[in-house]
Amino acid sequence: MPSIIGLLEQQEHAARRRVDGLREEADRIQAELAVAEEEWQEWVIARRRVDTVLAPDGAAEAGVQDAAGPQEADGQRASRDAARPKSQVPVWRAGMASSVLSVDYQRILHAAADRARLGQEPLTCQEMAAVFGMDVVPARVEALRSKAKRLVARGWLAEPTPGRFTLAPGVAGPGDGS
């Protein structure tokens, strides 16, 4: 009859082999993911460059993509400026509504506006992740940091100190008349 210790060792050894196999598979998938993300970023850059080259003079500056033709009426401008999935972040200008941003970017503005309204310090990306109910893990935090930095570059947010974000001067938060 086998000993209990021997049976436990067998089970431990089998579990260890499974863990090692899964780690190898995870490493392979991580490497594939890195290659795929790099390729994706190259395509994003290529598309943006083509958009810049093909955009009318004013649209490239404002960051607004004009998909409508010359027959567009003023009444259709609001629907054209409304956020579209995978849309780029336009450069902020006076009077621009936050509705031109995708929902993710609007959530970041809303969180920054809430902080400013309450007189609290600017938000960190970790705090944003917690406010949004996300797991505060590096992947989520870095995704938020990337979006926040893009909003800073386009004039929607300010970064008074590294890693802390607040509304840029003149920008009204969602629901504050913008």
User: Tens digits of per-residue pLDDT, 81-91?
Assistant: 444 445 578 88
Output the pTM of the full model. Answer: 0.50
Digit-coded pLDDT (tens) for 34-91: 888 889 889 988 888 888 888 765 444 444 444 333 344 444 444 444 444 455 788 8
Q: Domain for residue 147, yes or no? A: yes
Q: Domain for residue 162, yes or no? A: yes
Q: Domain for residue 137, yes or no? A: yes
Q: What is the CATH number of the domain that holds 174?
A: 1.10.10.10
| Mean confidence (pLDDT) of the chain | 80
Among 115, 113, 117, 122, residue whose Cα is nearest residue 174: 113
Range of the domain at 170: 83-178
Residue 78: per-residue pLDDT? 40
Residue 178: per-residue pLDDT? 40
Token pair listed for 16: 């260890």
Digit-coded pLDDT (tens) for 106-115: 899 999 989 8
Q: How far apart are CA 160 and CA 156, in angstroms?
A: 13
Angle between helices 103-117 and 138-153 (to 10 degrees): 80
Q: Is 172 exposed, middle or buried (0-12, 13-18, 19+ CB in 10 A)?
A: middle
Q: Domain for residue 35, yes or no? A: no
What mean pLDDT do residues 146-172 have? 90
Q: Please report which confidence band the pLDDT of residue 104 belongs to, taking 50, 70 and 90 as the band edges.
A: confident
Q: Please report which confidence band the pLDDT of residue 1 belongs to, taking 50, 70 and 90 as the band edges.
A: low
How many CB atoms are closer than 10 A to CB 135?
Answer: 9
